Amino acid sequence: MIKVAFFDSKEYDIASFLKYEKSHDLSFKFLETRLTEDTVELARGYDAVCVFVNDTVNKAVIHKLCDFGVKVIALRCAGYNNVDLEEAHGRIRVVHVPAYSPYAVAEHAMALLLTSIRRIHKAYIRTRDFNFSLNGLTGFDLHGKTVGVIGTGKIGRIFMDICRGFGMNIVAYDKFPAKDSGINYVELNELFEKSDIISLHCPLTEETYHVIDEASIKKMKKGVVILNTSRGALIDAEALLDGIRDRKVGAACLDVYEEEADIFYEDRSGHILNDELLSRLISMPNVIVTSHQAFLTEEALNNIADTTVKNLISCFEEKGTCVNEL
């Protein structure tokens, strides 16, 4: 029996994974705490750990996991910037879920965009108070606007397909352009200059860290709308806030935030938020923040659980090969 400790577990994780425990030779322990240097002791006695985006899998944690005899780190997400892969190489196996529902994330990005530019969130609040005034709710058409997509993997391309349905013009940037795709690739500076809307769908790397910063915002159109459903550190939040206050950025729709690890996924409504920058962003009338929920659909959760279980079984079977190993 493969014993797996799940860190940073939520109710929806438990519900989607439990059905696999009964049908496979697996034993799951669901822990609410995140994996950190302080909590890694909880992994003692397990064959594998299953972690999410805000768990810390650094050099010290990997050393401990290896000492405890943990054989596999199973990420139940696509991103792995929180894992020290160099330290893990040759010592402990790391697997991930490369695609769980690109439609979920792309559709959420469009939902944020429509909500923002058509003021749907404000109208919802008004009408619940029986206020049916249209003052201040004027939006703009997406048809004919230019959207710049940074990152043209599965999610980025699906988002582009959605935008085509609205009659939008599309330009894109990717370090590794997709061959024979018909995508209109341009350099980053041109994308910044031409786009009415910019949507981020790229992984977080040294090159993409703060791809949206003070310098890039200066190159953008006045009133640009910025969407981020990828990784928080793609945007310099201070520069974004300055751009909003200077009326350069017309709106920002954020499903991720650079310092989200100690904030997102938890109910903070009864507490004072210690992150002043996030508080200021949320207070802006043209900013919408969702708490890393773009992936959260039934289809995505089922795919995450199914792929993670298959990854674990593949790692522990005799051949030991896993197509999703990093």
Question: Phi/psi zone of residue 281: left (φ > 0), alpha (ψ -120 to 50 degrees), beta?
Answer: alpha
Contact 119, 137 (CB under 8 A): yes
Question: Phi/psi zone of residue 210: left (φ > 0), alpha (ψ -120 to 50 degrees), beta?
Answer: left
Closest by CA position to 84, among listed 48, 37, 125: 37
Amino acid residing at 72: V
Positions marked catalytic: 231, 260, 292
Question: Phi/psi zone of residue 252: left (φ > 0), alpha (ψ -120 to 50 degrees), beta?
Answer: beta
Strands 93-95 and 48-51: unpaired
Torsion angles phi and psi, residue 26, rounded to 5: -130, 150
Dihedral Cα 266, 154, 231, 174, nearest 10 deg: -170
Contact 51, 76 (CB under 8 A): yes
Torsion angles phi and psi, residue 200, rounded to 5: -95, 125
Closest by CA position to 248, among listed 223, 267, 282: 223
Residues 47 and 316: their CA atoms lie apart, in Å, by 9
Amino acid residing at 30: F
Long-range contacts of 278-282 (CB under 8 A, 24+ apart): 278/237, 280/241, 281/237, 281/240, 281/241, 281/244, 281/252, 281/254, 281/257
